[in-house]
Structure 1
Amino acid sequence: MIDRMIASYMDRLGVPVLRVALGIVFIWFGGLKIVGGSPAADLVANTVYVLQPSVFVPILGVWEVLIGTCLLYRPLIRLGILLLFLQMPGTFLPIVLLPEVVFATFPHQLTVEGQYIIKNLVIIGAALVVGGTVRDAETDEVMRTPVHSPE
Structure 2
Amino acid sequence: MTEETQSTALTTYREQFAAIDTRATELMDRWSIPMLRGSVAIIFIWFGALKPLGISPAAELVANTVYWMPPEIFVPILGVWEVAIGICLLYRPLIRIGLLLLFLQMVGTFLPVVLLPDVVFATFPYGLTLEGQYIAKNLVVIGAALVVGGTLREQ
Q: Normalising to structure 2: TM-score of the pair?
A: 0.87
Q: Cα deviations across residues 99-146 of structure 1 (Å, max 9, x unaligned)? A: 110011111111000000000000000000111111111xxxxxxxxx
Kindly report structure 1 stretches of 4+ aligned residues shifted beyond 6 Å.
none
Counterpart in the other structure of 2:75? 57
Deviation per CA, 1:65-102: give whole Å up to 9, x if none: 00000000111000000000111011000001101100
> Partner amino acid for 1:124?
I
2:90 corresponds to = 72
Q: TM-score, normalised by structure 1?
A: 0.89
Structure 1, unpaired ranges of 5+:
138-151
1:122 aligned to 2:140?
yes
Which residue of structure 2 aligns with residue 20 of structure 1? 38
Q: For residues 46-80 of structure 1, give each alpha carbon's deviation from its aligned partner in whole angstroms, at most 9, with x where no partner exists.
A: 00023100000000000000000000011100000
SS in 2 for 1:104: strand
Which residue in 2 is equivalent to 1:141? none
Letter in 1 for 2:104: L
1:110 aligns with 2:114: no
Give the number of equivalent residue pairs.
137
Which of 21, 40, 43 is the aligned partner of 1:3? Answer: 21
Pick the structure with greater CA Rg: 2
Q: Could you say what the CA RMSD is over the residues aligned between the two structures, in angstroms?
A: 0.6
Q: Equivalent pairs: percent with the same residue?
A: 70
Distance 1:84 1:76 in 2: 12
Matches of 1:120 and 1:34, distance apart in 2: 21
Point out where structure 2 has 5 or more consecutive residues left out of the alignment. Answer: 1-18
